[in-house]
Structure 1
Amino acid sequence: MNPIQHILDTYPLIVLDGAMATELERKGCDLNDSLWSARILLEEPNLIKQVHTDYFAAGADCAITASYQSTFEGFAARGLSEAEARRLIEMSVTIAAEARDEFWAFEENRLNRPKPIIAASVGPYGAYLADGSEYRGNYGISEDELVEFHRPRMKALIEAGADVLACETIPCLTEAKAIVR
């Protein structure tokens, strides 16, 4: 079942949530870090959940997870094992789903709206590099290397229960091909 089509069959549009990083900064988080908002998965995941809850309360029909910068390689550079990285990547989906389910548990939150879906954010390879190259896409690596970079994270996000993947800021055709391959 296509979760987006399921909503659009009954409602005229889908309201996406807003910027996770902006709201985390508003809540006092310092995101000046190579992990950016993924750092908050390590330090204060309850703040991420609160941002999702706030967006649902504001009318969002889709929560985009705090996984844009969550990569096995990025967490490894922070000294985390592959298992710890996988747990954090999966946790980005779990947090959004918990916020959604807690919100949806109240009947008044279900009036005249669809049950919100969870879109797992997949940022580009350049986001992991944290050097601004996510806007240029000139990484100097092959499509096969990009496949090997993206596939494990995308698999973890899907296995964690994301309804859809939100591939964000994909700057070049080579990376777009790698993501859908």
Structure 2
Amino acid sequence: MITILDGGMGRELERSGAPFRQPEWSALALMEAPDTVRAAHARFVEAGAKVITTNSYALVPYHIGQERFDSSAERLADLAGRLAREAADAGEGVRVAGSLPPVFGSYRPDLFRAAEAPALFAPLVKGLAPHVDLWLAETQSSLEEAEAAATAVKGTDKPLWLSFTLRDGDEATDQPCLRSGQTVEEAARLVARVGAAAMLFNCSMPEVMQGALDAARSVLGEGFPLGVYANAFISQDEDGDANEVVSDIRADLTTRAYCNVAASWAANGATILGGCCGIGTEHIHAMAHSLNK
């Protein structure tokens, strides 16, 4: 049985006409029009998602500023959790994943500062914890980022899914790597060491995901839950900071095309599938209705 995730929240908000721009990204709708966030979650539930992710990815100083983070991060995380919970409870058997982002910026393992990370995670974890069923530390670019997220949720008694973003451009090699250059095998050993309940790959091109799944399985074994939720961008390897621009969406990743590649991941052992930036409700609907037939 395949667990269907939701798709990219930021672009779903943008398409619906919700407030959306950089640097606030998806946090802008949370702050200015929270009903649009609840409605976006509800559309993904209606499309067939059985795990929806809180709109807390952009609740970091990079996006909302240090002053607003210091004063409002916990309150906004609580709101993000409540909105997702309300949408999930209106469905049937839907779980809520608490999004824990890379707290110093997406695709930037070079900016990670271990000593400062706990203070950035703490208000997010505290605000989200009452509302979520599991933690999803996503778009992790390095082992250090992922371990900090795992440490932040210790003691919450909720499962942790660790999701990594991969090199997907000219710098990609035959050996799948995180954007830090660390290997997927190293990341899989970290997943095992911290006791994560699943390992996923997200916010990278679909073309690099199967190699990462194979590498993870070689370490974790056939029975360990693996997942993918790719983005609809061209390679971001050369862009440096994924937070700087609103990237264009690939025209070739139609609903049918994405559903077909997701089916290939499922055929090769992935059991958790969804979409990241640019993958919308129509993609999730198609996956939900085809992959679990």
For the superposition of Structure 1 and Structure 2, which TM-score range results when normalised by the shorter chain?
0.7 to 0.9
User: CA separation of 1:80/1:121 partners in 2, compared to 1, >3 Å: closer, same or farther?
Assistant: closer
Identity value in percent: 30
Give ranges in structure 2 of 5+ residues lacking alignment: 152-293
Pair 1:135-2:107 in alignment: yes
Distance in 1 separating the partners of 2:70 and 2:122: 18
Check conservation: 1:93, 1:120, Cα contact below 8 A.
yes
Query: Which amino acid in structure 1 is aligned with residue 55 of structure 2?
Result: A
Structure with bigger strand share is: 2
Distance in 2 separating the partners of 1:55 and 1:93: 16
The residue aligned with 1:170 is 140
Distance in 1 separating the partners of 2:124 and 2:55: 13
1:87 to 75, 79, 86: 75
| Map 1:103-142 → 2, pairs under 5 A | 103-104=90-91, 110=92, 115-127=93-105, 134-139=106-111, 141=113
SS of the equivalent of 1:148 reads helix
Distance in 1 separating the partners of 2:15 and 2:124: 28
How far residue 64 of structure 1 moved from its aligned partner, in angstroms, is 0.6
Check conservation: 1:151, 1:179, Cα contact below 8 A.
no
How far residue 144 of structure 1 moved from its aligned partner, in angstroms, is 2.5
Give ranges in structure 1 of 5+ residues lacking alignment: 1-11, 105-109, 128-133
The residue aligned with 1:47 is 36
1:37 to 4, 22, 26: 26
The residue aligned with 2:264 is none
| Structure with greater Cα Rg | 2
Pair 1:60-2:49 in alignment: yes
Check conservation: 1:150, 1:179, Cα contact below 8 A.
yes
SS of the equivalent of 1:41 reads helix
1:112-145 deviation digits (Å, cap 9, x = unpaired): xxx1000011110233xxxxxx21310162x222
Alignment RMSD, CA only? 2.1
1:28 to 6, 14, 17: 17
| Map 1:137-152 → 2, pairs under 5 A | 137-139=109-111, 141=113, 143-152=114-123
User: CA separation of 1:78/1:25 partners in 2, compared to 1, >3 Å: closer, same or farther?
Assistant: farther
User: CA separation of 1:37/1:59 partners in 2, compared to 1, >3 Å: closer, same or farther?
Assistant: same
User: CA separation of 1:122/1:155 partners in 2, compared to 1, >3 Å: closer, same or farther?
Assistant: same
Distance in 2 separating the partners of 1:156 and 1:164: 14
Check conservation: 1:67, 1:92, Cα contact below 8 A.
yes
Query: Which amino acid in structure 2 is aligned with residue 135 of structure 1?
Result: Y
The residue aligned with 1:97 is 85
